[in-house]
Every structure is written in C-alpha cells, then in structure tokens.
C-alpha cells in the first residue's frame, strides 16, 4: 500500500498538497471484505437492507443509501453514484434498477421492502451486488480520494497542513488506509451542512480535527472517531433515539 501525492497548479493555489490512497489487488480485496463485514457481517442477505428508524434502503457492501421517490433526508445518497461508477466499468445494473434510478428506490417504506425481501427483483439485485464487490471496493477508495480536497477546502486554512499530515500518517499503513476509507463510507466526509446536529458534524473532517496528534496515528484516529460519534449522539434529536446505535458504532471504530 502506498500514498500518492499529486500536485497541480489549481491545487497548488487552493490546497497545496493532495494525498490519495492507492491499494494493490490483495489490499483492495481485504478492504472490501472488511467493509462488508462491518456493515452486514459479510452476509449476502445483508447486501440489501433497510435499517429500523431509517427512511431509505441500504445496498451493497458499504450499505450505500438509496432514497425512495419523492423522499430525501440529511444524509448523502450514494447508491445511484455507485451504480453509475459500476456502469462506467461495464457492469450494468438489473433492468428494474436502471428504470428506477431516475425516480428513486422502488420500495417506499421498510414494510414494503421487507415484503419484497424474497422477490425475484430483490434476489436479482443481491446477485448484482455480490458480483460487483471489487467494483464497489474501487468506488469506496475513489470516494475517499475525492473527499480529500473537499475536506481541506472546507477546513480553516490554518488547519490544512495539520490535516494533511494526519491523513498521511494514518494512511501510511494498510490498517490506517482501511480506517480512512471505511469512515468516509460509514459517516461521510463531514463537509455537508445537512449532516450536522446542533451545528456539529460527525464526518471524517471532524475526526481528523479531533485527533490529538499523540501516540500511534491509527489509535489516535480511532479514539477521535469514538469521541465524535459520542458527541453526535448527544446532539441528536431525542426522537431518533441514536443511543441504540452507539455501542455498535464504537465497536466498529475501536476495531480500527
């Protein structure tokens, strides 16, 4: 595993140094397997899911969000972007997915989703998702790489050098690269204004900002992620009852 550093005139002016994660084939396979394990225990049935209390379906190894027609929420929708990414690699979605993409997820509620769990369409979708795991992993890595300049641009100029240093140090090992890629997929980049509770975000940017800079960088990152997620739950609307998820979230980042 290695970190590539790219310098262009535009980045020189705006974001002096951009770091990108580049993994070899075996590292990519291991990363995809870990993300799948984190999201749904590595089960094929878990490739199509609708969590209790959520207004959207979650699909693939990264539980990529797909909102139903006419519905949107504060969290970034990622499943349509994944399908587009895979199609560019020649991996086209099932016909019913292609037809639904312009409108939204074909199941409008969790109850409707559960009733269709063993339908031919759902089985076809799970097979597509199982067949495209390497492409989904490539999408996760591309998503992280695209997040770097957005995070740096969103951060105060005075913090950018420190943030780049932390990305470089955490990502210098395969273990750390997984933590960075997984967290962006898990809780986002931290730049969206809609992904805030009481003005505070919980994405990768906030975790990097919360690191102490002391000790092992990956352990530091893991500890910071735990603090950020705990604060998210404290700030969350009581009606969402996010406390029910916190133990699982902390177990996930503690494994980094």
Phi and psi torsions of 46, nearest 5°: -75, -5
**What global pTM score does this model have?**
0.82
Cα separation of the two ends of the chain: 17
**Whole-angstrom Cα distance, residue 78 to residue 208?**
22
Q: What is the pLDDT along the chain (256 residues), one digit of tens a residue?
A: 434 433 333 332 333 344 678 788 999 999 999 999 988 899 999 999 999 888 999 999 999 999 999 898 888 899 999 999 999 999 999 999 999 999 999 999 999 999 999 999 999 999 999 999 999 999 999 999 999 999 999 999 999 999 999 999 999 888 999 999 999 988 999 998 889 999 999 999 999 999 999 999 999 999 999 999 999 999 999 999 999 999 999 999 999 9
Handedness of CA 10, 20, 182, 161 (dihedral sign): negative
Tell me the domain boundaries of the chain.
2-29+143-254, 44-133
């Amino acid at each position: 595993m290695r970190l590539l550093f790219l310098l262009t005139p535009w980045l020189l002016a705006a974001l002096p140094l951009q770091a990108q994660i580049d993994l070899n084939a075996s590292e990519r396979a291991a990363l995809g397997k870990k993300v799948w394990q984190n999201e749904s225990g590595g089960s094929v049935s878990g490739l199509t899911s609708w969590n209790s209390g959520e207004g959207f379906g979650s699909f693939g190894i990264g539980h990529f969000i797909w909102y139903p027609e006419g519905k949107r929420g504060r969290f970034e929708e990622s499943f349509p972007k994944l399908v587009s990414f895979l199609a560019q690699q020649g991996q086209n979605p099932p016909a019913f997915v292609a037809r639904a993409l312009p409108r939204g997820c074909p199941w409008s509620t969790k109850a409707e989703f559960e009733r269709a769990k063993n339908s031919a369409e759902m089985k076809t979708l799970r097979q597509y998702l199982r067949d495209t795991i390497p492409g989904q992993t490539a999408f996760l890595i591309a998503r992280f790489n695209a997040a770097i300049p957005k995070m740096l641009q969103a951060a105060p100029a005075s913090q950018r050098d420190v943030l780049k240093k932390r990305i470089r140090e955490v990502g210098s090992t395969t273990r750390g690269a997984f933590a960075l890629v997984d967290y962006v997929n898990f809780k986002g980049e931290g730049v969206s204004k809609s992904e805030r509770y009481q003005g505070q975000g919980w994405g990768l940017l906030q975790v990097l900002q919360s690191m102490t800079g002391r000790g092992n960088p990956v352990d530091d990152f893991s500890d910071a992620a735990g603090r950020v997620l705990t604060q998210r739950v404290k700030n969350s609307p009581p009606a969402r009852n996010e406390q029910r998820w916190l133990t699982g979230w902390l177990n996930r980042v503690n494994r980094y």
